[in-house]
């Protein structure tokens, strides 16, 4: 994405975007037809399992089996293949690569205040701009259906997200590159825009408490005798002594990827403990660890080490310019996030690629989840707006605005695509559940018993 953009006027760039409609009309985005010979979704998931930690595969499958939305979350490779088999606009941006509603959230900015942004970049890669907004729209439909919402309301959620994206891209089309780059979404300001008064007041209170609590650090990891140790909470946080050498080697090598001033900062701390963590849904089974760093005064810093594999988009969008997959993730995050983590870096250990970031504070992350649960229409608008801000940093917003136009053709088409794709996701989910019942996909006995009820 570092290729210099042509120095053309906004009107000329909009005209170039408008011309893209000749090869792919906006209304054609509504079309989703399974390609001939579409791969079995279970086979696609099993292929990903091949190089994951075997003991964690049942946990991954169990988390995906909860409902169609958790299946969608873990099935990024399935949707990527469907995108790859379909026409695209050719308007490329840096994609997040796994843009569903649960991959947005709140975290502390540079000054300690809460910002809202994309927060997962494992699949990031340059590709057609519409892939991210389509996955986001589909996630709102599937999540809404999983909550028992009627189809009309689910479609409205998808359309709301796309319309917000569309409107924000139009705003960035005439903004200066610096203004675009420095734009960010402050969570406090966003919460003030919630229309429901009771929800707005509740979220303000939650945000205030979360920000204050997050400034206290992680003092809960100091044991009664004054030593520092990460808690063990299986299956989420666990210890595997045989893998600690890999984690220690990765954390040590990670320092070389940091700018000199960050190395100076990190030199104030020492690695005191390592534990392993089963993350999210789609990432379960990859090598993920938490490093507890501390100084002599007991000030703590939690860094997350996460294995980086080839993006699921690579077979369809093209290989990354970075052969080190951790570097690919870090570069993508720095491009897309308004305030990327100070401690972002990458490493390699025992032939595994990793990236490192500061562990997300669960107290702030819960704010985004709470807004999602209590004000889903507002959340759809917020996510659409956030995605537009991210894409405008690396793509040409004027070209995108020219393609999208001033009407609602694109918004309606993607909302329809999301509804149709939700049907495909439901079929794939049923196939996945049957594979569990048949013993083709492994889960724990307890999970299998629950799924039968």
What pLDDT digit, counting tens, does each position of 292-327 carry? Answer: 998 888 788 899 999 999 999 999 999 999 999 999
Q: Is residue 210 part of a domain?
A: yes
Q: Is residue 4 part of a domain?
A: no
Instruction: Indicate whether 225 and 90 sit together in one domain.
Output: no
Domain boundary among 341, 358, 375: 358
Report, as an integer, the average pLDDT of 145-163.
96
Instruction: Indicate whether 248 and 348 sit together in one domain.
Output: yes
Residue 413: what pLDDT?
Answer: 98
Q: Is residue 151 part of a domain?
A: yes
Instruction: Indicate whether 34 and 176 sit together in one domain.
Output: yes
Domain boundary among 304, 329, 358: 358
Residue 110: what pLDDT?
Answer: 75
Residue 194: what pLDDT?
Answer: 76
Instruction: Indicate whether 250 and 386 sit together in one domain.
Output: no
Q: Where are the beta strands (DSSP E) in 285-440?
A: 288-294, 300-307, 345-349, 352-358
pLDDT tier, 208 (very low <50, low <70, confident <90, very high otherwise)? low
Report CA-CA distances (Å) from 83 to 166, 339, 421, 429: 20, 29, 11, 18
Report, as an integer, the average pLDDT of 77-89.
97
Instruction: Indicate whether 208 and 229 sit together in one domain.
Output: no
Instruction: Indicate whether 349 and 369 sit together in one domain.
Output: no
The pTM of this model reads: 0.92
Instruction: Indicate whether 36 and 147 sit together in one domain.
Output: yes
Average pLDDT of the chain, as a whole number: 89
**Beta carbons of 17 and 399 less than 8 angstroms apart:** yes
Domain membership of residue 311 as a residue range: 219-358
How many domains does the structure of the chain reveal? 2
Instruction: Indicate whether 333 and 244 sit together in one domain.
Output: yes
- Of residues 311 and 239, more confidence is placed in 311
Q: Is residue 70 part of a domain?
A: yes
What are 423-435's pLDDT values in tens digits?
999 999 999 999 9
The token duo for 30 is 């509504």
Q: Is residue 3 part of a domain?
A: no
What are 413-422's pLDDT values in tens digits?
999 999 999 9
Q: Is residue 140 part of a domain?
A: yes
Residue 243: what pLDDT?
Answer: 83
Domain boundary among 335, 358, 381: 358
Report, as an integer, the average pLDDT of 35-64.
90
Report, as an integer, the average pLDDT of 371-386.
86
Instruction: Indicate whether 418 and 394 sit together in one domain.
Output: yes
pLDDT tier, 253 (very low <50, low <70, confident <90, very high otherwise)? very high
Residue 282: what pLDDT?
Answer: 77
Q: Is residue 2 part of a domain?
A: no
Instruction: Indicate whether 163 and 80 sit together in one domain.
Output: yes
Instruction: Indicate whether 123 and 191 sit together in one domain.
Output: yes
Q: What is the rounded CA–CA span in Å between residue 45 and residue 324? A: 23
Q: Is residue 1 part of a domain?
A: no
Percent of the chain past pLDDT 90, that is, above it, reads: 66
DSSP labels, 275-321: EEE--SSTTBTB-EEEEEEE-TT--EEEEEEEE----TTHHHH---S
Report, as an integer, the average pLDDT of 64-89.
96
Instruction: Indicate whether 160 and 286 sit together in one domain.
Output: no
């Amino acid at each position: 994405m570092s290729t210099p953009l042509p120095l053309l006027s906004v009107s000329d760039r909009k005209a170039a975007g408008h011309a893209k409609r000749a090869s792919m009309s906006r209304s054609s985005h509504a079309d989703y037809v399974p390609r001939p010979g579409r791969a079995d979704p279970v086979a696609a998931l099993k292929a990903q399992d091949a190089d994951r930690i075997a003991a964690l595969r049942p946990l991954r499958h169990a988390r995906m089996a909860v409902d169609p939305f958790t299946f969608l979350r873990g099935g990024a490779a399935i949707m990527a293949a469907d995108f790859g088999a379909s026409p695209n606009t050719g308007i490329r941006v840096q994609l997040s690569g796994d843009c569903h509603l649960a991959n947005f959230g709140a975290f502390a900015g540079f000054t300690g205040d809460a910002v809202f942004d994309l927060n997962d970049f494992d699949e990031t890669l340059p590709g057609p701009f519409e892939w991210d907004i389509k996955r986001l729209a589909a996630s709102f439909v599937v999540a809404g259906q999983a909550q028992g919402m009627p189809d009309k309301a689910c479609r409205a959620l998808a359309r709301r997200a796309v319309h917000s994206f569309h409107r924000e891209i139009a705003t960035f089309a005439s903004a200066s590159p610096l203004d675009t780059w420095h734009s960010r979404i402050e969570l406090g300001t966003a919460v003030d825009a919630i229309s429901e008064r009771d929800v707005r007041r509740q979220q303000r209170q939650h945000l205030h408490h979360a920000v204050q609590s997050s400034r206290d650090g992680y003092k809960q990891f100091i044991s009664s005798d004054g030593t520092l140790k990460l808690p063990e909470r299986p299956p989420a946080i666990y210890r595997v002594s045989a893998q600690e050498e890999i984690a220690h080697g990765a954390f040590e090598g990670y320092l070389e990827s940091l700018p000199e001033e960050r190395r100076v900062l990190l030199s104030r701390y020492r690695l005191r403990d390592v534990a392993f963590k089963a993350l999210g849904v789609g990432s379960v089974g990859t090598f993920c660890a938490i490093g507890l760093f501390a100084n002599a005064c007991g000030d703590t810093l939690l860094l997350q080490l996460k294995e980086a594999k080839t993006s699921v988009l690579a077979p369809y969008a093209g290989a990354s310019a970075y052969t080190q997959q951790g570097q690919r993730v870090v570069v993508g995050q720095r491009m897309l996030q308004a305030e990327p983590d100070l401690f972002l870096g990458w490493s390699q250990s025992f032939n595994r690629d990793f990236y490192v970031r500061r562990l997300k504070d669960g107290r702030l992350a819960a704010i985004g989840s709470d807004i999602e649960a209590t004000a889903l229409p507002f959340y759809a608008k917020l996510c659409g707006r956030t995605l537009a801000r991210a894409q405008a940093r690396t793509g040409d917003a004027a070209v995108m605005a020219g393609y999208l136009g001033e009407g609602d053709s694109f918004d309606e088409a993607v909302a329809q695509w999301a509804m149709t794709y939700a049907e495909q996701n439901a079929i794939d989910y049923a196939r996945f559940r049957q594979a569990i019942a048949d013993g083709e996909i492994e889960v724990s006995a307890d999970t299998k018993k629950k799924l039968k009820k």
